[in-house]
């Protein structure tokens, strides 16, 4: 349970997903939804406070939910949590709640899945301040090679935004990214993770089988799993 199998496609970030034969999914549960993980094969969960659904009235309640549910065995990471300069409450509230979730992550020894839109300076500032021991995964990344290198230098992992991953212009980014720091995702969109793997394997000049093996290895490292 909660573990992908050899040969699985791993969809590292999805909302409302249903496991399928040969596809392992990491379902993102958001604290405001009052949903908890259910038992089943081919699926694991993250749990956190998305900045879009955070406000001055609910932040204490949502943090209490993360503190209460974050320890559940089906929840293997905290998040998605982070910053959004286009949508959400004040930057100060976003930062305070993000830092609180990082503290929970460190206490529970569970990694973090991060949502970040146009707030990279803020994210890196928190990283420098807190010096987290647990790894961070940036989901939905669609930045340039220089930004990717800056995040990778901090030991972060990158999951590439599904739509960008399928575009021809993402090939340069994929060729520049080290294979031991990438994940792929659908984010709950009407796309097939297998099509993303096929396109990315072509960009990287490797087979789909080799790409699946690389991403499984990344999963083991990110979640500190030995199997």
Question: Mean pLDDT for the chain?
Answer: 95
Q: Are 45 and 37 in contact (CB under 8 A)?
A: yes
Q: Kindly give the pairing relationship between strand 182-184 and strand 157-160.
A: parallel
Q: Which of 24-38, 52-66, 96-110, 168-182 has the lowest mean pLDDT?
A: 24-38
This prediction's pTM: 0.95
* Distance in angstroms between the alpha carbons of the first and the last residue of the chain: 12
Task: Provide the token pair at 81.
Answer: 């949590």
Per-residue pLDDT, 36: 87
- Do the domain assignments include residue 3? no
Cα–Cα distance for residue pair 195/44, rounded to 1 Å: 22
What DSSP element (H or E) covers 209? Answer: helix 208-222
- Domain extent, residue 118, equals 9-190+214-222
What CA–CA distance (Å, rounded) separates 113 from 48? 9
What would the mean pLDDT of 125-146 be, rounded to a whole number?
97
Residue 168 has pLDDT above 90, yes or no: yes
Residue 170's pLDDT is 97
Task: Count structural domains, the chain.
Answer: 1
Report the CATH number that the domain containing residue 164 is assigned in CATH: 3.20.20.140
């Amino acid at each position: 349970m909660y573990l992908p199998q050899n040969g699985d496609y791993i969809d590292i970030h999805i909302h409302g997903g249903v496991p399928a034969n040969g596809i392992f999914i990491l379902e993102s549960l958001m604290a405001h939804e009052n949903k908890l993980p259910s038992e089943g094969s081919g699926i694991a969960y993250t749990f956190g406070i998305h900045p879009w659904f955070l406000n001055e009235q609910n932040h204490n309640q949502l943090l209490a939910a993360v503190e209460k549910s974050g320890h559940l065995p089906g929840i293997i990471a905290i998040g998605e949590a982070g910053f959004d300069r286009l949508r959400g409450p004040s930057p100060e509230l976003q930062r305070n709640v993000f830092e609180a979730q990082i503290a929970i992550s460190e206490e529970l020894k569970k990694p973090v899945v991060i949502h970040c839109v146009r707030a990279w300076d803020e994210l890196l500032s928190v990283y420098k301040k807190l010096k987290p021991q647990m790894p961070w995964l940036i989901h939905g990344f669609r930045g340039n090679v220089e930004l990717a290198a800056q995040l990778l230098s901090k030991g972060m992992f990158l999951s590439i935004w599904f739509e960008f991953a399928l575009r021809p212009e993402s090939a340069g980014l994929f060729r520049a990214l080290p294979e031991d720091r990438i994940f792929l995702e659908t984010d709950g969109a009407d796309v097939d993770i297998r099509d993303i793997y096929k396109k990315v394997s072509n960009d990287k000049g490797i087979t789909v089988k080799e790409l699946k093996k690389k991403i499984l290895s990344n999963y083991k490292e990110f979640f500190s799993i030995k199997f």
